Structure 1
């Protein structure tokens, strides 16, 4: 009996000693920040949805790396990426300023078409010269890049009438209430958010039954997965790029994009 009792104690002690080692060896998930940017990445019924989300999930599944998504406002997410409080951020455009603290994926997640949006019936035309519209007010998102052409004109103070807000819903309300003349936004995202707001019968939208995307686009931008340089994740980035290449080669990347049905997200709430 004494032998069995001592054996049981020994097994218990070994188990207790091994538990911390096992727990500490478990790989913590990469924290991936995203902003509410339907239909590319957003939350619905406490689930993370969107075409970019599905692509990222499949790529990290292939390299056997655990991940967790966190919905964070745009400016805060960029700051946290810079300081290493998050590991990765979804859908970030390349800029010289961001290259200092971001390692970008080689393959883009999506291609953004940046347009000028006006209310239906507005007597505003775009002839590829934004300076001809400098007397009008532009609604833009805080800390958001709209491409070198627009950004450079702002930096040179050739476009000065900017109405800055945190998101497309707020900017669309300002457009429809006459606070701004133009909203600058990615076409698919802006039209999606406007349709969602319209379904909610926002009284502020009564002035404009529809919004119009002026053509041509002012910029076509590639959005990437951004890795924090602070957290030294270049080895993960390389693996992610390899997974993306294999997804493109075997057709799964194309299938994810083609199988995505925007109408299936009709119950989604608008982003903020």
Structure 2
């Protein structure tokens, strides 16, 4: 009877510990193949699978909250949300976001347009005098992000950019090869090509925690879980089915 009593106590303690664990909010938006919107309104994709594995590895509950990317960044500033995934590093963001190490994925910035438009774009200076579409609140590379000489046109999503370039409303767009190559493989009718010019540095993607999140003590176990997934190659396994 005493042994059974101890087992019951242990089970009750374990259940109480699980219920006491906080739920951290992960703010994000649609960005295939990392976050793909399903017909039922749910998200799936590389980042969503990574978040599920982080939950399993760390025991920390994560709740995905979809919102525009710019709003997500603002709520990270105030601590209204705890985490963002798929973050590129910038000095400005680093003022209010702690980037969990290591980075978990790498993409390359690239320029896309109709084949005849991009064929001769083989150096950065060829961007001068050409209107270039980009996604607002995104970070690509320097000097592009801060170059006031360029004629840049910002929109809310990469899908908007693809449609605008396809229809001739924009001659050129910048994107990440992970996302745009995936979109072009899924929809060949877009008929866009990648410019020969490639920036020298990749875009590395991070999981970041708001410096105003009340759950700073969970930063280390999350980072340790992330490192495990990176080191054992599991993230590459997750990503492989989504690669064009």
What TM-score comes out, normalization by structure 2 length? 0.83
Partner of 2:29: 35
Given the alignment of the two structures, is residue 77 of structure 1 paired with residue 72 of structure 2, yes or no? Answer: yes
8 A Cα contact 2:36 2:45, kept in partner: yes
List gaps (5 residues or longer) in structure 2: 1-15
Q: Which has the larger radius of gyration?
A: 1
Partner of 2:181: 191
Residue of 207, 214, 217 corresponding to 2:195 = 214
8 A Cα contact 2:104 2:226, kept in partner: no
8 A Cα contact 2:112 2:118, kept in partner: no
Partner of 1:102: 97
Partner of 1:236: 218
Partner of 1:4: none
Partner of 1:175: 165
List gaps (5 residues or longer) in structure 1: 1-21, 200-208, 264-272
8 A Cα contact 1:118 1:124, kept in partner: no
Given the alignment of the two structures, is residue 223 of structure 1 paired with residue 205 of structure 2, yes or no? Answer: yes
Specify the SS of the correspondent of 2:137.
coil
- Does the C-alpha gap of structure 1 residues 123 and 214 become closer, same or farther in structure 2, counting only changes over 3 Å? closer
The alpha-carbon deviation at position 90 of structure 1 amounts to: 1.1
Name the CA distance, whole Å, in 2 between partners of 1:211 and 1:176.
7
1:44-55 mapped onto 2 (5 Å cutoff): 44-46=38-40, 47-55=42-50
Partner of 2:238: 256
Name the CA distance, whole Å, in 2 between partners of 1:248 and 1:110.
9
Specify the SS of the correspondent of 1:222.
strand
Q: Could you report, residue by residue, the CA deviation over 1:220-268 in whole angstroms, capped at 9, with x for unpaired residues?
A: 110101111011443322111211222344443343334x3458xxxxx
Q: CA RMSD in A?
A: 2.3
Specify the SS of the correspondent of 1:96.
coil
Specify the SS of the correspondent of 2:21.
coil
Given the alignment of the two structures, is residue 139 of structure 1 paired with residue 129 of structure 2, yes or no? Answer: no
What TM-score comes out, normalization by structure 1 length? 0.75
